[in-house]
Amino acid sequence: MVTDRVGDFIIRLKNASVVKRQKVDAPHSKQLEAIAKKLQVLGFVDAVEKVGDRTLRVMLAYDECGASRIRGVRRLSKPGRRLYISHRDAHKVAGGAGARIISTPKGILSDAEARGARAGGETLFEIW
């Protein structure tokens, strides 16, 4: 049984992108679906769909050369140590090429959206 769903999800995405897989299946939850849809908006994944009641299918994004858009991920807030930030501390990741995903009262937001909405919350992970 996995106790850290977000950590398991982002590692599945990273590992699948390293071996050039087209899709990743993960256990479904509303939070993971919201994260996947945010990654789709940011351009790191192509499509997100719910398959059945318990499976979330994510299609990975690749550029025209065949390189994955996901080059790395880093889990920041962990089950043993939650990390919260204000909107002022949500700085750019990898010089603007990446994103920091934050769980706020306004939903799952990227670092740029959190600064614009002036919403802080639990910083989940960085992706570049």
- Does the pTM surpass 0.75? The reply is yes
| Distances, alpha carbon 63 to alpha carbons 3, 34, 74, 125, in Å | 33, 23, 22, 23
pLDDT the model gives residue 89:
84
Query: pLDDT per residue over 13-50, tens digit each?
Result: 999 999 999 999 999 999 999 999 999 999 999 999 99
Query: pLDDT per residue over 103-119, tens digit each?
Result: 999 999 999 999 999 99
